[in-house]
Chain A
């Protein structure tokens, strides 16, 4: 009788599994279990400590979808993400192009640009909170002193301006990352391509659109995906600046999740919004991955 071949792990594989086990356990306990518990909370009625009570299927979802404020907050989250990521990508690209040019003090300029991203987000947000302060803030003081505006708006108290004030802080913090990633990509593009293009009489715009962008296309994809995920969930900036106000004008899904879960102890409602956030970001990631890998196949 023929003997079926047995799969035996080599000693190296066994070692690899053994060394990965602690990290895997950590991820299972501190990431997988909380995610699964949140999904369960969205399907159960919970008490004020988030302990599951009764299984109610999708009743929590139906209740949430019937609230106008849920759709407002979701729409605002998408708008927030699109505007912030777009601006960060464009500004990041411009800064990367500037930093890619040889000039005196380039190293120092690169260090300066990293500072907003290297500082902690809450610290940066608190700093901008003071910059925006109507009575004592640097921004209004500058505008009034220079005669640019005599009556500047209440940046974090006006429904229109508060959204853009928060958006700007998120952009300010996130641009250095984009710039550095794009710069790293640009530095790996062969100089020969640019030299050939120059010989052929291609101008700066042409070099940018036909050499630089295609060469760093994959990096742009990855950077914008990461930025989208981080921006969609940017809790610190909004919470510190406006706490979602005034009158909900800057509330996005993540701040709404916090309010429902930790201020009002409505864990089921918070869990529903968390699951929906998870699904939105999963869809975005899948779309990105398909475009990215299809681009990789075409390159082959």
Chain B
């Protein structure tokens, strides 16, 4: 009996080893892993087609485009890096580049990407320049605009104060919401920055050498921006009642459903509205500044980064050249709605729509998120301050004063 048992165990071990060995043999082709952030509007069909088309052209390379919700990309990337198994490529928020550089995790794309591909990208879109080196290829670069549901209103506000007035009027007349404004903490700080930047706010003081100094979100302009947001949400009640339980992705469907007059949104608007089957007409305008202030919309850029410790970077470079061809990159830009970052795609007819015109105008005055280490934690701190102001737990001034102090402490911990 014992012998039978022993023989059975040995056979099982042998079978497992052979299967594993066969699997290893199959995986002998270079495998390029791409962490693929899921933008609004980007379809699974596109990802699957891109993957199979590349492998058809390069049959000796295995490509795995791993789709990941935006909120989880950072976690998944850092986990992969900690496990010494980074992807060859990852779509990153350009603001993460500083932290990744501090970990010595990145490699300049110029080493692996064709010169023709690099030259086809607009210089102005290359935001990931740090210390004179480009650390990521721009994959998406877009400012934000104001979308207007013309079934509910056709008024274009020239100031934030007018936006409030028109939103209230549209709400009173139609019974729908005046403005969409998410109130639940999430990865992006955009929904605070719309108002903050529109009032001329700066996150940090600038030192004489151009580096960031003390946090000044609690300046008069910052406090006024937050007071305005609190007024819209809690006194005017012009935003959806459940705003505190909605992130950006959860609140925008209210607009897509035709239930709100205004929303501050990005380049994915047309694509998302089409996918939601929206039947109403939409007009685009600039996000206005507060009275007496110039409009300064937010500019958000994302980059495609190469990772130093990945194995198949040469092959990853081939994928990047393939992906940045118009037939794929232009389609990508169309789906997510961001303006093209490549010169050849920018001339295509599908990018001459009113939305793209509005985005182009917005880009002229747009301001990026500050590139500073620990920004993920700072985002959390600001969001907590905003939510506490909404809940009435702190006044906007106290909330931002406390937040500024915490942010200074976070910044100091990285110096």
Contact = CB atoms under 8 A, between A and B. Distances in A.
Contacts of B53: none
B243 A157 contact: yes
Contact of B75 (A245, A247, A262): A262
B240 A134 contact: yes
Nearest to A132: B245
Interface in B167-195: 183-186
A108 to B, nearest CB: 36
Given A50-B82, A263-B75, A264-B377, A246 B244 contact: yes
A24 to B, nearest CB: 16
B376 A247 contact: no
Interface string A244-280: 0111100000000001001111100000000000000
Tell me what chain B mostly uses at the interface: helix, strand, loop, or mixed.
helix
Given A245-B184, A263-B75, A154 B242 contact: yes
A246 B185 contact: yes
Interface stretch (B145-153, B221-229, B297-305, B386-394): B386-394
Contacts of B246: 134, 157
Contacts of A19: 9
Contact of A49 (B81, B244, B376): B81
Most-contacted residue by chain B among A49, A50, A132, A151 (CB, 10 A) = A49
A247 B393 contact: yes
A247 B402 CA distance: 14
Interface in A212-259: 242-243, 245-248, 259
A11 B2 contact: yes
A158 interface: yes
Nearest to A22: B13
Contacts of B186: 243
Interface string B128-151: 000000000000000000000000
A151 B237 CA distance: 13
Contacts of A50: 82
B120 interface: no
Nearest to B245: A157
Contact of A262 (B2, B79, B380): B79
A297 interface: no
Given A11-B2, A246-B391, A157 B99 contact: no
A133 B384 CA distance: 21
A185 interface: no
A45 to B, nearest CB: 11
Contact of A155 (B75, B240, B245): B245
Contact of A263 (B9, B254, B380, B388): B380
Interface string B337-380: 00000000000000000000000000000000000001011001
A246 to B, nearest CB: 5
A154 B244 contact: yes
Contacts of A265: 78, 99, 376
A133 B78 contact: no
Nearest to B254: A135
Interface in A115-173: 132-135, 151, 154-159
Contacts of A29: none
Tell me what chain A mostly uses at the interface: helix, strand, loop, or mixed.
loop
A158 B244 contact: yes
Interface in A159-206: 159
A82 interface: no
Contacts of A134: 240-242, 245-246
A36 to B, nearest CB: 16
B210 to A, nearest CB: 25
Interface in A16-41: 19
A243 B240 CA distance: 20
A243 B75 CA distance: 14
Contact of B245 (A133, A151, A248, A266): A133
B102 interface: yes
A247 B388 contact: yes
Most-contacted residue by chain B among A15, A159, A247 (CB, 10 A) = A247
Contact of A259 (B82, B259, B380, B387): B380
A106 interface: no
A230 to B, nearest CB: 23
Contacts of B183: 157, 246
A294 interface: no
Interface string B178-218: 00000111100000000000000000000000000000000
A226 B103 CA distance: 40
B36 interface: no
Contacts of B284: none
Nearest to A264: B377
B245 A247 contact: no
A241 to B, nearest CB: 9
A47 interface: yes
B262 interface: no
A246 B184 contact: yes
Interface string B64-97: 0000000000110011011000000000000000
Given A11-B2, A15-B2, A248-B384, A49 B103 contact: yes
Given A48-B102, A154-B242, A262 B376 contact: no
Contacts of A158: 244
A19 B2 CA distance: 12
Interface of A: 11, 15, 19, 47-50, 132-135, 151, 154-159, 242-243, 245-248, 259, 262-266
11 contacts: A47-B103, A135-B241, A135-B254, A135-B259, A156-B245, A157-B244, A157-B246, A158-B244, A247-B388, A262-B75, A263-B380
Q: Which 9 A-B pairs have the closest CB atoms?
A: A134-B242, A157-B244, A157-B245, A156-B245, A264-B377, A247-B387, A262-B75, A49-B82, A247-B388
